Structure 1
Amino acid sequence: MSADRIKGPASYFPSIEKTYGRPIADWQALVRAAMPAKHMELVAMLKAQHGMGHGHANAIVGYTLAEDAGRQG
């Protein structure tokens, strides 16, 4: 196993981009535009408005919120 293997929510990103045809930055922009909202509200928005599966939506939301929290610290 490679030490550089991507783990966590980002491991879904290649599949998300392939499945939905948009870069992760686009999905993150949608999440950020819907702020402030709770994690599961954002997941529900991606699922309802964009037909995204739960795991993919959850990965994008979780990664985006964690990234934004890191910027504030």
Structure 2
Amino acid sequence: MSEAHPHRVVAPEVDPGVRVKGPASYFPSIERTYGRPVQDWLDLAADRLDDHRHMEVVEWLKSDHGLGHGHANAIVAYVKAKLA
């Protein structure tokens, strides 16, 4: 994402050894599984949520980007909570 478009939802910074709860607990697995920083996924979801519902974005992440349901749902839930 360019400097002209700052991240609307910033990925959390987690100290090593700290146990994270909620949707962000999926983020390390998402990065390992799909080989992209979680920030990329948050940006995609935030942009898509402008004009799509939660489950539509989940389905889009699954069908167009190959994410599993739990991972896609965690990303969308995290973004929605931060934008609320």
TM-score by length of 2: 0.74
Runs of at least 5 residues in structure 1 that lack an aligned partner in the other structure? none
Q: Which residue of the partner structure matches residue 29 of structure 1?
A: 43
Q: How many residues align?
A: 66
Q: Match for 1:11: what amino acid? A: S
Determine whether 1:48 maps to 2:66. Answer: no
Q: CA deviation at 1:16?
A: 0.1
Q: CA deviation at 1:36?
A: 1.9
Q: Match for 2:61: what amino acid? A: L
Greater helix percent: which structure?
1
Runs of at least 5 residues in structure 2 that lack an aligned partner in the other structure? 1-17
Identical residues among aligned pairs (%) = 61
Q: Which residue of the partner structure matches residue 13 of structure 1?
A: 27
Write the mapping of 1:53-68 to structure 2, written as runs, cut at 5 A. Answer: 53-68=68-83
Distance of 1:64 and 1:26 partners within structure 2: 12
Q: Which moved more, 1:60-69 or 1:29-38?
A: 29-38
Distance of 2:38 and 2:51 partners within structure 1: 19
Q: Match for 1:60: what amino acid? A: I
SS in 2 for 1:37: coil
